[in-house]
Amino acid sequence: MITLAGIIGSGKSSLTKILAGELGTKAYYEPVEDNPVLPIFYKGNEIAAKKRAAGEKDATNPYAYLLQTFFLNRRFKMIKEAMVEDNNILDRSIYEDAIFMKMNTDMGNATKVEYDIYQSLLQNMLEELPYAAHKKSPDLMIAIKVSYETMIKRIEKRGRDYEQIQEDPSLVTYYQRLLSYYDTWMAEYDVSPLLIIDGDKYDFVANKEDRVEILEMIEDKLSELGNLSKEKVLSLKERHQRN
């Protein structure tokens, strides 16, 4: 099982689709369009920021805890389903979920009590994974690291109004802060083998040469870990050369 990680707009879903096609396996995508909480969460962030600017120091986003428990529930269900069979790929995982709750708590959007309850729930879920599925962690975590500039370009391209900094200027600080939290998470992640991809350097969606280089980087890593035979890697590389 492979899981993807990365900030908003890093290309997780795109790389998940590319990898699933390459390896002939099933892709699991986290639904976004049917999320009833996400748009009101962004609005809640904006309201909380304005209240704090006006002197209300304890103003929180009333939807922060709701959003994170919504995501946590979905990601737990998704990873359980993916773990039942081998060779599946997830475009987001439960392992990076705590980044958002930690940052929202540090920013004042969630309370310490909400954070503690969330952490307790998360740990209980992670402890249940070996019983709910046949493994307790992914075979490989692929993290896509991008700069703020790349992130904003991709957010603008996909066009969700509630994600745009033009619609909500407070998102500039939110996104920049989130990037730093992801950097810390990548440095500290130890649940499984980790491969970090430079999403600024490699445009694996639009550039064929970049895509092939990334695929071969991932396949070499899977071979090194014993999850992909050397014969299979060689066969895939020969296919790349033909195409």
Active site residues: 91
Burial class (CB in 10 A: 0-12, 13-18, 19+), 182: buried
Structural domain 2-201, CATH architecture = 3-Layer(aba) Sandwich (3.40)
Find out whether 46 is annotated in a ligand binding site.
Answer: no
Question: CA of 89: how far to CAs of 16, 17, 42, 138, in Å?
Answer: 6, 9, 28, 9
pTM: 0.88
Q: What's the pLDDT score for residue 132?
A: 67
Mean pLDDT by 10 residues, the chain (243 residues): 93 94 91 80 84 87 92 89 84 90 90 95 88 78 96 88 85 92 96 96 94 96 94 92 85
Cα–Cα distance for residue pair 1/102, rounded to 1 Å: 26
The pLDDT of residue 137 is 83
Is 74 annotated in some ligand binding site?
no
Q: Is the dihedral of CA 96, 97, 99, 100 positive or negative?
A: positive
Q: Which residues pair with 88 in a beta bridge?
A: 26
**Does 219 count as an annotated binding residue?**
no
**What pLDDT does 176 receive?**
95
pLDDT for 195 equals 98
79 is annotated as contributing to ligand binding: no
